[in-house]
Amino acid sequence: MRAAETAHLSITQIAYRWGFGDSSSFSKIFKREFASSPKDYRAAGGFSSQARRASSGWAT
């Protein structure tokens, strides 16, 4: 997903789109993979630069 595609979505909505049942599990795995919470990552301008890694299946 690109930043422009997710800018209007909450972190919970993004988690559900990736197949997570809750945002807590998503946040825990996201932080392990990217060393930053989804909220902090988004605030720093992330998501667009890591779209390829995320789409490669890190959440499975």
The set of residues, in sequence order, having a beta carbon less than 8 Å from that of 40 and lying 6+ positions away, is: none
Q: What is the pLDDT along the chain (60 residues), one digit of tens a residue?
A: 556 677 788 999 999 999 999 999 999 999 999 999 999 988 887 765 444 444 445 544
At residue 55, the 3 state secondary structure works out as helix
Q: How far is CA 31 from CA 5, 18, 37, in A?
A: 21, 15, 5
